[in-house]
Amino acid sequence: MSVASEIHQRLTKAFTPEKLEVVNESHLHAGHAGDDGSGESHFRVVIVAADFAGKTRIARHRAVHAAMGPDLIARIHALALDISAP
């Protein structure tokens, strides 16, 4: 399973989002620091879920990182997050 698919699967399970986009941007960073050559090192996530209502930006980011898990986070060099509540 691709890293993007794993991200999508774990975030869907944790938050049942109204909107979830996982974009692999690794090709934009080819040859840069952090590019491990796998083509799965840089990601952008847009997620909208009711679970984020009333949470601070930091709490939202922590919740996403926790849902993804340390094993998946360790395989990613860069993760851009756009997190909001409906």
Phi/psi at 70 (nearest 5 deg)?
-65, -30
Proportion of the chain above pLDDT 70, given as a percent: 85
**Residues 2-20 as b or e (16 or more Cβ within 10 Å = b):** ebeebbbebbeebbebeeb
What's residue 34's pLDDT?
59
User: Is 81 within 8 Å of 58 (Cβ atoms)?
Assistant: no
List, for residues 15-45, the tens digit of each pLDDT value. Answer: 999 999 999 988 676 666 656 656 678 899 9
**Nearest alpha carbon to residue 64 among 2, 29, 15:** 15
CA distance 28 to 11: 24
What does the block give as tokens for 52?
């984020």
What's residue 80's pLDDT?
97
pTM for the complete prediction? 0.87
CA distance 11 to 33: 27
What's residue 41's pLDDT?
82
